Copies of this chain bind each other. A is one copy, B any other.
Amino acid sequence: MSEPDLVTLHPGPDDYVHTFGTRPPLTTVRPGTIVELTTEDCFGGAVRGFGDLPSQVCVFPYLNPVTGPIAVAGAEPGDTLAVHFVEITPARDWGVSSTFPHFGALTATHTTAMLHPPLEERVWLYEIDVATGVCRFRARTGDFTVDLPLDPMHGTVGVAPAAGETLMSITPGAHGGNLDTPEMRAGTTAYFRVNVEGALLAIGDGHARQGEGEVCGTAVETAMRTVVVVDLIKGGGPAWPRLESDGHLISTGSARPLEDAFRISQHDLVGWTRDLLGLDELDAYQLVSQAGLAPAANVCDTNYTMVAKLPKRLLGPVRAYDGMHEHLRAVGAAYLHRR
Give A residues with C-beta under 8 Å from B. Answer: 18-19, 21-22, 60-61, 97, 99, 105-108, 110-116, 119-120, 122, 124, 137, 139-142, 144, 146, 148, 162-168, 209-220, 239, 253, 255-260, 262-264, 266-268, 270, 277-283, 285-296, 299, 304, 306, 308, 314, 316
Residues in chain B near residue A267, CB distance under 8 A: 106, 113-115
- Given known pairs A107-B115, A116-B116, A168-B163, the reply for A287 and B140 (CB within 8 Å) is no
Q: Which of B61, B164, B168, B281 contacts A22 (CB 8 A)?
A: B164
In angstroms, Cα B146 to Cα A288, docked, is 12
Contact status B294-A213, CB under 8 Å: yes
Which of chain B's residues have a CB closer than 8 A to the CB of A285? 99, 106, 115, 215-216
Contact A212 B292, beta carbon cutoff 8 Å: yes
How far is the CB of A140 from the nearest CB of chain B, in Å?
A: 6
Instruction: Supply 11 A–B pairs (Cβ within 8 Å), ascending by A.
Output: A111-B260, A113-B260, A113-B267, A115-B119, A137-B287, A137-B291, A148-B314, A209-B290, A211-B293, A215-B288, A262-B299
Complex interface: chain B residues within 8 A of A258 (CB): 257-259, 262
Q: How far is the CA of A290 from the CA of B182 in the complex (A)?
A: 10
- Are B107 and A116 neighbours in the complex by a CB distance under 8 Å? yes
CB distance from A164 to the nearest CB of B (A): 5
Asked whether A107 lies within 8 Å of B112 as measured between CB atoms, the reply is no
